[in-house]
């Protein structure tokens, strides 16, 4: 008998029919002899709708009040799922983040978990119930509700799995696992059976949307095994763990991110402390800087470019409008039509020539490289946004990642989803 934490994303609980199907899946785990704890996201696009309501009332809603509002989405889905389990004749108990003992720091909208008090969860399990926990939320030392940021339910699930010493944390979504690339962009992408924490963390950070990077980082730190799998299929997904039971490929996967922007500050005085002044000011205004490129100095001046999330651009502009003049730089320009393409693989550490092959492949396909960043297991390039798909596909083929079968994306109806979930029962 295993102790399983099962997290279901917003797509999985987007309607009453889907919630009922999740309940059947959890009951089936129980019938197979497992102890199971569920963690749920808000239904469908509920979080986006709540943000829209807040903005309709106040264009700049207070962070504390916004957290209280957004936390209600998960509370709705957790309660409905508990009701659905009870309707099947099995005991369930729903818990908010606070009731589940998830303590966070006081950073509203992007809080970090500092402690998990698992007493109530273990008590519910001892009573034979299926605990259903609201993801994405916790409580700070002042008793205020906090949220963990987008994708935070993944982090909740991993933290709960660590707190109760679960055998595995199963994260269910609308995809069947982790692929070598987004199969909607590369139809011949392969699903991976296993992947290391380091490779998964790099892929998540580089734009792969399957798992939240913070959840993977938490799992790596506390050695929590993650099983990424589909809520609409019984097929095995992808295991994320310390070391896969296989020899590492040179390149594990390719991720791309079209949400970043590139900012270039021109005519920056090439003198001590100027870069520190620029990036300290950006950090002070909560701008997350990714890649940084500085050109060779000419006549005492240089250009500095950096990339950052598009969501941070308003704060970046606000900062640079002030700081560019203070450091006597000439101007700054923004390029919003870019894409970051990243090759990830632990095998890169012992395989020379990856960069040369990547640059040659892009050159042969007339794709210009705007910026480059590397780490021991990642190579990232910035290209024109219009060439992102072409860049990903040609690199995927060049590094031998294509499979023999073609992925076919299909939107499933509620009836089709139910049929797929009942198959094999």
Residue, of 411 and 119, whose pLDDT is higher: 119
Phi, psi of 108 (to 5 degrees): -70, 145
pLDDT in tens, 157-204: 999 999 999 999 999 988 899 999 998 899 999 999 999 999 999 998
Q: Name the pTM for this structure.
A: 0.84
Contact call for residues 3 and 167 (beta carbons, < 8 A): yes
For residues 305 and 292, the answer to whether their CB atoms sit within 8 Å is yes
Domain assignments of the chain as residue spans, ordered by start = 3-243+413-422
Given this model, what pLDDT does residue 417 score?
A: 40
Taking only the tens place, the pLDDT of each residue in 371-392 is 998 988 999 999 999 999 999 9
* Distance of alpha carbon 220 from alpha carbon 205, whole angstroms: 14
The per-residue pLDDT for 354 is 94
With a cut of 80, say whether residue 244 has pLDDT above it.
no
**DSSP result, 161-221:** HHHTT-SEEEEEESSSS-BSS-TTT-TT--B-SEEEHHHHHHHHHTT--SS-HHHHHHHHH
What per-residue confidence (pLDDT) applies to 421? 40
Beta-bridge mates of residue 168: 4
Predicted pLDDT of residue 246: 53
Selected residue with higher pLDDT from 210 and 45: 45
Q: Percent of the chain scored above 90 by pLDDT?
A: 82
Q: What is the CATH number of domain 3-243+413-422?
A: 3.40.1160.10
Element of type H or E holding 333:
strand 331-335
Residue 99 banded pLDDT, cuts 50, 70, 90: very high
Lowest mean pLDDT among 77-86, 127-136, 252-261, 342-351: 342-351
Whether residue 131 is predicted with pLDDT greater than 90 in this model: the reply is yes
């Amino acid at each position: 008998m295993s102790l399983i934490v099962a997290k279901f994303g917003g797509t999985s609980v987007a309607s009453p029919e889907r919630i009922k199907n999740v309940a059947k899946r959890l009951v089936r785990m129980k019938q197979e002899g497992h102890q199971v704890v569920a963690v749920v996201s808000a239904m469908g696009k509920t979080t986006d709708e709540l943000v829209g309501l807040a903005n309709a009332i106040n264009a700049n809603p207070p962070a504390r009040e916004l957290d209280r509002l957004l936390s209600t989405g998960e509370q709705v889905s957790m309660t409905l799922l508990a009701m659905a389990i009870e309707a099947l004749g099995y005991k369930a108990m729903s818990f908010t983040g606070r009731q589940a003992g998830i303590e966070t720091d006081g950073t509203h909208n992007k809080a970090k978990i500092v402690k998990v008090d698992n007493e109530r969860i273990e008590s519910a399990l001892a009573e034979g119930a299926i605990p259903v926990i609201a993801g994405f939320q916790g409580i700070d030392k002042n008793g205020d509700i906090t949220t963990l940021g987008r994708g935070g339910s993944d982090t909740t699930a991993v933290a709960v799995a660590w707190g109760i010493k679960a055998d595995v944390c199963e994260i269910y979504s609308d995809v069947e696992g982790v692929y070598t690339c987004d199969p909607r962009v590369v139809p011949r992408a392969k699903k991976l059976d296993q992947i290391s924490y380091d490779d998964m963390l790099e892929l998540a950070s580089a734009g792969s949307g399957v798992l939240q990077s913070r959840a993977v980082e938490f799992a790596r730190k506390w050695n929590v095994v993650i099983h990424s799998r589909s809520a609409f299929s019984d097929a095995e997904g992808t295991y994320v763990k310390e070391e896969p039971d296989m020899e590492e490929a040179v390149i594990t996967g390719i991720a791309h991110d079209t949400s970043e922007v590139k900012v270039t500050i021109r005519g920056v005085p090439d003198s001590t402390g100027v870069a520190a002044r620029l990036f300290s000011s950006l950090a002070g205004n909560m701008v997350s800087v990714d890649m940084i490129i500085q050109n060779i100095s000419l006549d005492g001046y240089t250009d500095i470019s950096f990339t950052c999330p598009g969501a941070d651009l308003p704060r970046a502009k606000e900062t640079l409008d002030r700081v560019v003049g203070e450091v006597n730089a000439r101007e700054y320009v923004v390029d919003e039509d870019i894409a970051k393409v990243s090759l990830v693989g632990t095998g890169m550490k012992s395989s020379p020539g990856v960069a040369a092959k990547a640059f040659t492949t892009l050159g042969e396909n007339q794709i210009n490289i705007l910026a480059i960043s590397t780490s021991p297991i990642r190579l990232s390039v910035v290209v024109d946004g219009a060439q992102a798909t072409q860049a990903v596909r040609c690199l995927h083929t060049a590094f031998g990642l294509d499979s023999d079968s073609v992925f076919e994306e299909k939107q499933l109806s509620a009836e089709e989803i139910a049929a797929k979930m009942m198959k094999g029962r």
